[in-house]
Chains A and B, each alone.
Chain A
Amino acid sequence: MTDNGSGATADGSGATADGSGATADGSGATTDDPLLAVEGLRTTFETEAGDLVAVDGIDFTVERGETVCLVGESGSGKTVAVESLTGLIDQPPGRIEGSVRFRGAELTALPPKALRRHRGASIAYVFQNPQDALNHCYTVGWQLIEAIQVHEDVSDAAARARAIDLLDTVGVPDPAGRIDEYPHQFSGGEKQRVMIAMALVTEPDLLVADEPTTALDVTTQAGILQLLDDLKAEYGLGVLFVTHDLATVSQIADRVVVLYAGTVMERGPVVDVFERPAHPYTRALLACLPGRESDLDAVGGAERGGIAGSLPDPTAPPDGCRFAPRCAHAESACSTGDQPPEVAVGDGHRVSCIHYDPGDDPSALPDPTESAAEAERSSVESARQDVIGDE
């Protein structure tokens, strides 16, 4: 981790969401470019109801040998964000803007053919639903060999031998015998192992895993997570892991990026974000975890039993903080302007919330009053204004 020290950067003042925010090692660096550096990524879809903003200017980086988790509830834009990286989104109706640099080279400017050479070769994907992710008409071996031969001019026999090796690596029993079986003859967990093998065929540098364990049962999940962790170490992979499951995050992540409505709410090392969550949204998310309620009392969280309300309409995102309409700590200033700039509240720990000043402690979030937690937001805004004003 090469993040900035907390007070050293421009912090609140200049760092807008699409600016230099994310990490200090970004734009200016000529040596040691991060494996993946995303800046101001914005993905919109043309719909009949108007432009739908799925990803609204996010930044993050992934280093080699590091697992970064994109966390957020369904519809927060995490899947669209990772699929935008290599243009897996159909364009049109999608439109991808911003900068995606892979080992320092800009991907968004590449023509389709050149981009295709990155897909599966240097950046590989594992998707959420293994039941549907393999083509039911072809054997597992055929699909693995296809993945190899798309990128490398190797003989069928050589490709097949490597496919068997890979199945062995990912822990499919009897790989030589099962390579000629069809996907329906594999269990869900085995299919996901095949998908991981397929992602590894050309030894990628970055593995994008989009909710790879969501469709699996708990014991299978543990096996897949262990496998990903082992492979990360063995191949020196950078892993970009998308999930809504915070329990998974706590097991595998090095760093966490919390997304809400297509924008970054909070980011930081996993320990910081889990132990000292700053943003009300992160706190609310963590409060949904079983056994976390008491922890949160310590940091002044009052959210219980899920987060009331639902994601804002992506065709007309609210002014100010995207989370303000559902936030127990919201005040009138939260609903003006754009998403607040990120400010540092720890080493590499940054939050997009007006309640924090640069260098603040993550526990600095003022308590919402008893009435504020329950009553309509509009009626309590003025009351809370006073509380804030005192500090």
Chain B
Amino acid sequence: MGVAGYVALRVGWAAVVSVIIVTVTFGLLAAAPNPSVQQAATQAALEGGDPQEAVERERQLRGLDEPLHVRYLDFLTGVYTLEWGWSEYRSQPVTTALADAVLYTAQYSIPWTILTVLFGPLIGVYSAANMYTWRDHAATGFAFFGYAIPNFFFGIILLLIFGVWLEWIPIVFRTEVPAFSLANARQLAIPVFVLVTGSIGAIMRVSRNESAAFRNATFMKTAKAKGVSPLRAYAYHVMRPTLVPLSTTLVGQLLAIFLGSSLLVEVVFGIPGLGRLTFNALVAQDTNLVLGSTLLFTFLAVVGNLLEDLAFTVLDPRISYDDREL
């Protein structure tokens, strides 16, 4: 089959997974009572009308009188053609609301992810290379500190220090600043730092423990006996094999923080990103918007897992594609 065949199969499988998720979502929606129908009935009853008739009218209006399979196909096409409906709370199409929010989320998420992926393994391998010395303990201490302290709390403390006392950064995120500007970098530095400390700990610990096994492997002795410098030996002979097991945990770790912590950080720093949008949509019971952001997160997870699997297969040459199950 080869690599290309495996990749094609795995991508196809990701598509199937996304259809399954959309289907389950539809099933849940269809089974749950529709709040707008309930509302119409209540309204009609209050105004002395016929609640039953109002329910019928509302159902017809929303296309709920159609057979289930027609509604399912409509829903499916809607999802894949990005017609995700109207957000009542934002008074704009759901996709527009999401696109606006993604723009802000991306501004801190991309640097945060890059920094984590770059420095997590680096600090981990450094720690393993200096195992049980003060350098290792310092790196481990830093990792556990970031891991243990809640992001939102850490964010508030830093905001207090750098925003309120030192007045180096604005207290509330300013959306009028252009995305690629020094001012934007300054106001995003603290949220990015907070998220990096939160995510780097887990990555660093995994890298440290995985590379600890490789630094004592015979091939490291081989490298040393060949006359390879310690720096090169770690960079090539330890870092590379460490990336294989790391790739399996990296995406999961990042997604967990992306879904959980970014909301809290957005609330603390007043960034109008995806997390806050979802939170507000939930509070406002804006079904379409909640559904939209849920689907967005779900797709991110599917794509993330896809990338993780592909990275794993490409990184470890020992994996054979010929008899590989998905």
A137 B229 Cβ-Cβ under 8 A: no
Q: Which residues of A contact B33 (CB under 8 A)?
A: none
Max count, chain B CB within 10 A of own CB: residue among A88, A119, A151? A119
Bound CA–CA A133/B221 (angstroms): 8
A150 B228 Cβ-Cβ under 8 A: yes
Q: Which 6 A-B pairs have the closest CB atoms?
A: A120-B227, A120-B226, A125-B225, A132-B218, A119-B227, A135-B219
Q: Which of B260-279 contact A (CB under 8 A)?
A: none
Bound CA–CA A146/B237 (angstroms): 11
Q: Which residues of B contact A146 (CB under 8 A)?
A: 223, 226, 228, 236
- A117 within 8 A of partner (CB): yes
A135 B224 Cβ-Cβ under 8 A: no
Inter-chain contact total with CB atoms closer than 8 Å:
75
B318 A136 Cβ-Cβ under 8 A: yes
Q: Which residue of A lies closest to B315 (CB)?
A: A137
**What does the 1/0 interface line of B286-326 toward A look like (CB < 8 Å)?**
00000000000000000000000000000111100000000
Bound CA–CA A125/B221 (angstroms): 9
B227 A150 Cβ-Cβ under 8 A: yes
A119 B317 Cβ-Cβ under 8 A: no
Q: Which residues of B contact A162 (CB under 8 A)?
A: none
Q: Which residue of B lies closest to A132 (CB)?
A: B218
Bound CA–CA A122/B218 (angstroms): 20
**What does the 1/0 interface line of B2-46 toward A look like (CB < 8 Å)?**
000000000000000000000000000000000000000000000
Determine which of B226, B227, B240, B244 lies in contact with A138 in the assembled complex, contact meaning CB atoms within 8 Å.
B240
Q: Which of A189-213 contact B (CB under 8 A)?
A: 195, 198
A-B contacts, 17 listed (Cβ < 8 Å): A116-B229, A119-B225, A119-B227, A120-B228, A125-B221, A127-B221, A127-B222, A128-B218, A129-B218, A133-B219, A135-B222, A137-B315, A138-B236, A146-B223, A147-B226, A150-B226, A198-B226
A198 B222 Cβ-Cβ under 8 A: yes
- B63 within 8 A of partner (CB): no
Please give the distance in Å from A74's CB to the nearest CB on chain B: 16
Query: Known: A137-B244, A137-B317, A184-B317. Is A132-B217 also a contact (CB below 8 A)?
Result: yes
Bound CA–CA A146/B315 (angstroms): 19
B225 A120 Cβ-Cβ under 8 A: yes
Bound CA–CA A291/B228 (angstroms): 45
Q: Which residue of A lies closest to B215 (CB)?
A: A90
Please give the distance in Å from B135's CB to the nearest CB on chain A: 15
Q: Which residues of B contact A86 (CB under 8 A)?
A: 225
Please give the distance in Å from A95's CB to the nearest CB on chain B: 17
B227 A116 Cβ-Cβ under 8 A: yes
Using C-beta atoms within 8 Å of the partner chain, give the interface range for chain B. Answer: 20 to 34
- A121 within 8 A of partner (CB): yes
Q: Which residues of A contact B252 (CB under 8 A)?
A: none
- A38 within 8 A of partner (CB): no
- B150 within 8 A of partner (CB): no
**What does the 1/0 interface line of A46-88 toward B look like (CB < 8 Å)?**
0000000000000000000000000000000000000100101
Determine which of B222, B224, B227, B236 lies in contact with A195 in the assembled complex, contact meaning CB atoms within 8 Å.
B222
Bound CA–CA A24/B226 (angstroms): 32
- A134 within 8 A of partner (CB): yes
Q: Which residues of B contact A118 (CB under 8 A)?
A: 227
Bound CA–CA A83/B222 (angstroms): 11
Bound CA–CA A146/B316 (angstroms): 20
Q: Which residues of B contact A186 (CB under 8 A)?
A: none
B318 A132 Cβ-Cβ under 8 A: no
Q: Which residue of A lies closest to B242 (CB)?
A: A137
- B49 within 8 A of partner (CB): no
- B78 within 8 A of partner (CB): no
Bound CA–CA A337/B240 (angstroms): 52
B316 A88 Cβ-Cβ under 8 A: no
A133 B318 Cβ-Cβ under 8 A: no
Query: Known: A136-B318, A137-B317. Is A119-B241 also a contact (CB below 8 A)?
Result: no
Bound CA–CA A128/B219 (angstroms): 11
Q: Which residues of B contact A124 (CB under 8 A)?
A: 225
B218 A127 Cβ-Cβ under 8 A: yes
Bound CA–CA A151/B222 (angstroms): 15
Q: Which residue of B lies closest to A195 (CB)?
A: B222
Query: Known: A127-B218, A132-B217, A132-B219. Is A137-B226 also a contact (CB below 8 A)?
Result: no
Q: Which of A87-145 contact B (CB under 8 A)?
A: 88, 116-121, 124-125, 127-129, 132-139
Determine which of B217, B224, B237, B315 lies in contact with A119 in the assembled complex, contact meaning CB atoms within 8 Å.
B224
Please give the distance in Å from A369's CB to the nearest CB on chain B: 47
Bound CA–CA A119/B229 (angstroms): 11
Q: Which residue of A lies closest to B222 (CB)?
A: A133
A135 B237 Cβ-Cβ under 8 A: yes
Please give the distance in Å from A56's CB to the nearest CB on chain B: 23
